[in-house]
Amino acid sequence: MRPNHAIITSNALLKITSLIIAFAFWNVLTQKIDVQRTVDVPICLYNSNDVQFDTPNSVRLTLRGNQSRMRNLDQETIALHINAHKLSSDINWIAVTDADLFVPEGVSMIHCNPPILTITTCKQICKTSSSDTDEDI
């Protein structure tokens, strides 16, 4: 009975077991912690069809996600994408939503400044072909 007691109370075995249990707890706890991060995100318009728009350069977003995803978040790849085809020909007020923001799964927007974007249609860019310019000469 004494040899089994010596194995269980071995100092090295207790240290190794403690280390494994501590690592497991640390791993579980760090994966569950939600972190917030505030970033300036550029505004990108797509489907503009040669129309110029006056938009703010960027918006300030507060994002939330678990610690590992937020640590690996590449700020250079985040952008607010707005479909210009859905905009009217005058002044547009667009509420910023998660659907317009392309971020990894598990990361969400909790605050936006400004919450509503004002996008104004400036003018349509006229493209002249070479045959049009020849007729004017």
pLDDT in tens, 27-75: 877 767 788 999 999 988 888 777 788 888 889 999 998 877 888 888 8
E strand map for the chain:
34-46, 51-54, 58-66, 80-83, 91-95, 108-113, 116-124
Structural domains counted in the chain: 2
Tell me: cis bond preceding 56? Omega within 30 of 0 counts. Answer: no
Residue 134 domain-assigned (yes or no): no
Residue 108 belongs to what domain range? 34-127
**In terms of domains, do 39 and 55 share one?**
yes
**63: CATH:** 2.170.120.30
pLDDT in tens, 79-125: 888 888 888 778 888 888 888 888 888 888 999 998 888 888 876 65
Residue 95 domain-assigned (yes or no): yes
Residue 135 domain-assigned (yes or no): no
**In terms of domains, do 56 and 123 share one?**
yes
CA-based nearest residue to 47, from 82, 9, 94, 4: 82
Residue 136 domain-assigned (yes or no): no
Q: What confidence score (pLDDT) does residue 61 get? A: 92
Entry field: residues in the chain: 137
